[in-house]
Amino acid sequence: LLGRVAPSHFIFLQPYPEDGLVVQFRVSIDLQVSPMVQGVVIEEGCIVDVNPSTQEVLARVPCSTLEDVTAAVSRAQAAQLPWAAKPLVDRISLLKQVMKKLAEHHEVLAQLITKEMGKVVSEAEEETQESCDKDDYLDLIAAANADEVVDEASGTMIIRDPHGVVAILSPWNYPALEIVLLALPALAAGNTVVLKPSEVVPLVGTKVAEAFQTVLPAGTLELLQGDGVIGEALVKSSVNMIGMTGSCATGKKIMAMAAPSLKRLVLELGGKDPMVVFADADLDLAAADAVTWSLSNCGQICCAVERIYVEECIAKDFEERVAKKAKLWHAGDGFAEASKIGPMVSSMQKAHVTKQVDEALAAGKARLVCRGDGPTDGNFYPTTVLADVQQGTSISKDETFGPVVCITAFDGKEDSAIRLSNDSEYGLASYVYTKDLEKAKRVARSIKSGQVGINCYSMLAASPKCPWIGAKGSGFGYHSGVEGWKQFSVPKSLVFSNPSP
């Protein structure tokens, strides 16, 4: 066996010594296995790391073995008690040093992000900046983990105990930032971490892990590389908690695997986020946000705007404003100055987006408004604006994760806005645009999602104290914010029968 190039496609070498020949052939075998993330090739025990823009092989990264998983978890377990014994203030101080170390390599990190997953380098630089600038953030995490006296008379208090070892399975779309957002609260709480980055971005994962490993005691953060086989082994190992950002399908599998040992979970999963635009909204603002947050990162964001419900009396005006802005989002190589979006992360993702769009258009259940400029070969997909998108189509209900703006007109009634917004298995974030803030609050309170941005994109405008919560099928547990940071520890009450001296 030379390598696996798809879940059920294998390449073999067959030697014929008597003839002095070696024949290479490909075999399709019907195996009941999970598909590899974005079709990443595992060949001769290595991840074949490919630039999605140029198809250049960046590296062949050795996969961890099952024995490596066991050893990494064991080292993390051995390091956990000494790490937790350090005062909280000392742990926070060390984590701030980690962020400074990461900042020393922010330019290299941004370049790696663009090379490995394709986003334009300006967005990669924004990601690395946000990943490194975490001093104030760590101070808030420290406050969330501090002892809390709940009865002054008796001195009864709540303290927080770490879970033990936290497995982190990080995604490819924000490959540096998501590691940081999961690792910092886990480590601050006194846990140790075993990290497995997405096989799409092994070099970014390595670079981030190196910053932690350079500063922290040995075993405090361990790194594994590989595909779902290694991820499954890590989930089934003797870790105490799993933090994961990824798809709903993978999240459900993790929940099932974690159930026998009742592992704690923080799962931030997919989304199909709605935006509601009422007639009295600031249309320039709403159109700009609709385009920006449908297309940023080539639409490959869990909280991208994927459904836009516009009051019908302004639908034509809004559509024209969106089209004018969307045409400026040119696709191209992530390092090209003219590019506003890079390639899709893989041919698999491009095929998924293409299928959703083409099916809706062919069935007459959407209307093509415009497409942007740029290449369409390889993994590139042009910015696309659709209108008259009908409920029940795949593109109206299933996560797209691509550079598509989808517009549907509605009657402007609050009940209709709420019903349409909630007509989804997902509930990550939502957006309401209107100058009537009381109406906005009524609608926002009734939408089932973890965050609602009112005349804004909530991810940018929210206080860092706000949790990032996936309602319904968009998650389990809380990610970030005070409630999210506390997920990485267990509250314990110290109760005194007598008044404290």
**Using an 8 Å Cβ cutoff, are 87 and 303 in contact?**
no
Intra-chain end-to-end CA distance of the chain, in Å: 72
CA atoms within 13 A on the CB side of 409: 14
**Gyration radius of the chain's alpha carbons:** 24
Please list, in sequence order, all residues whose beta carbon lies within 8 angstroms of the beta carbon of residue 300, skipping any fewer than 6 positions away.
119, 173, 344, 345, 349, 401, 402
Catalytic residue chosen out of the listed positions 248, 302, 370, 406: 302
Most distant CA pair in the chain: distance in Å?
Answer: 92
**Structure tokens, 191:** 């846990």
Catalytic hit among 116, 222, 268, 311: 268
CA–CA distance, 183 with 167 (Å, rounded to integer): 9
Any residues with CB less than 8 A from the CB of 112 and at least 6 apart, and which?
A: 201, 203, 204, 207
Using the CB atoms, write b or e for 75-96: b if 16+ within 10 Å: bbbebbeebbeeebeebbebbb
State the angle between helix axes of 248-258 and 228-236 in degrees (0 to 180), rounded to the nearest 10: 30
Sheet holding 57-62, edge to edge: 21-28, 9-16, 3-6, 41-43, 46-50, 57-62
268 belongs to the catalytic site:
yes
Collapsing DSSP states into helix, strand and coil, what is residue 53?
coil
Q: Which residue has the tokens 């590389």?
A: 225
CA distance 133 to 137: 8
Do β-strands 489-494 and 384-387 pair in parallel, antiparallel, or remain unpaired? unpaired
CA angle 25, 31, 36 (to 5 degrees): 85
Q: d(Cα 378, Cα 344) in Å, to the nearest integer?
A: 9
Residue 158 phi/psi, 5-degree rounding, is -110, 125
Active-site amino acid positions: 268, 302
